[in-house]
Structures are given as C-alpha cells and as structure tokens.
Structure 1
Amino acid sequence: MKLGTPISATHLLPDPGSHLTLVGGWLRKSSLDELPQLWNILIGDMNFVGPRPALYNQDDLIAMRTKLGVHQLTPGLTGWAQVNGRDELPIDEKVRLDFFYLLNKSPLLDFKILWLTILKVAKSDGISH
C-alpha cells in the first residue's frame, strides 16, 4: 500500500486499486500477501480454513457474524466465502457463506475449500483490486 492510504477495510475505499504499489498489486493478485498469516496458523491464532478475520473497524461484518454465531469460529487463511466470490461479494453474502460453513464444517468441506482455493489463486479469480 502507498503511504497515506486510509486505515480502512478495502471494500470501504472509493478506489482501492489507486492505493496499491506495483509490487503490492502483484502480491495481492498472487495472494502472496497472505503468507505472513502462516505464522498465525503456527501459533494457533488462525486455521487454514475458516472465515477470514475481520478488521477492527468492520463493524457491519462483526455485528452480522456475531448475530449468527460465526464469530465463534477460528479465523482462517481461506474460507467458504473466499472460494465463492472473494472480493466480489457484498458483506451480507460473505456472512451468509460463513454461516453456511459454521453449519456444515467438516474435514471434507475443509479439503474442498483448500482445493478450490488453490484453483482460485492459480487463476487470480475473484480479486477486484
């Protein structure tokens, strides 16, 4: 991100792409910007699969997840919402997909999500900025 980028959820920025550097854009498109979160998985703060963590200022997302109990799940590097639309989804749709994951969580679903994530990342599918 460029210096001076507002501290805000990406979906709330009027033109998110204008805040990316060339290297940042490439890291985002390739999903390599997620690699530091492997540390969070190693120390147990995250799972490979689960709802993506919310930013502290994503009050709408946090409220909707809390109402449905999704906030009880450990956040993940990837999730059902990510393989079903990623950045292209509105917040309420992401929460609906996170809730589906809560209700249907299983090792088989996790494997499916991991496989679909690999395919999505390879195609840079679902990244809007």
Structure 2
Amino acid sequence: MSGTDASKKTTFEGSAECLAACEELAAVFRALGHPARLAIVKQLAARSEACCGEIVNHLPLAQSTVSQHLQVLKDAGLLICDTRGRNCHYLLNREKLAQAEKWSQNFWDVLKSTHQDCPNNETVRADDHE
C-alpha cells in the first residue's frame, strides 16, 4: 500500500469513528428530545430507582404513555431495567450518560474550534433573516 493509500485509509477510519460517535450522540439526543423523557430522567436522577407506577405518580401522563417513554429511554441505553417479579425497577445508566456527556462535549468543542478558525465567524442573529 502506498503512502497516499495509507493516509486515505487513516482519514476514512477517523471519519468512520466520527460518524459512529455522531450516530450514538444523535440516538441519545432523540431519546432525550421529549419533555416527558427529560422529566423522567430528572426524576430518576433524584433517586436510586423507581418503578413505572412511581414515575406515573409524578407526571400528568397515563401509565401507558409513561411506559412508552421508558421504553424509548431504555432502547437508547439510558435506562437499566431491573425486573423483580412482575415489576420493573428503572435506574439511570450513569455510564451511558457519562459517555453521552463526553460525546456531546467533544461535539461542541469541535464546533467551537471550527468556528474560531473560520475567517467569517460572525454570529448570525435570527432577526437577520426576517
């Protein structure tokens, strides 16, 4: 493999890793992209665990709706379900949340550094487009 081929491969691998991290971060953002799911995460952050009924008692939502939101958070890896008999106790997957925080911080750091390097880094205001 020539030096040029090797550099292309390295760049592609870096891009593939970047894309994978972006996909993971996007999945977390999608899961957290609903006010009810944010409220559930905040509730679970304040306690070690809760079953669905306990979460329902603190939200103005039907049990079936809360169950659907819990499933979305679980599918994204943000919740761990500890099944005890017929009850499922939910707890935050703090490792996944820490990983998502790292990905998110890296994402914003890259945007900031790219913005600083841009020769026309003027801030565009919303009212500039009206």
**Greater gyration radius:** 2
TM-score (norm 2): 0.26
With a CA cutoff of 8 Å and minimum separation of 6, indicate the structure with the bigger relative contact order. 1
- Whose helix fraction is larger, Structure 1's or Structure 2's? 2
TM-score by length of 1: 0.26
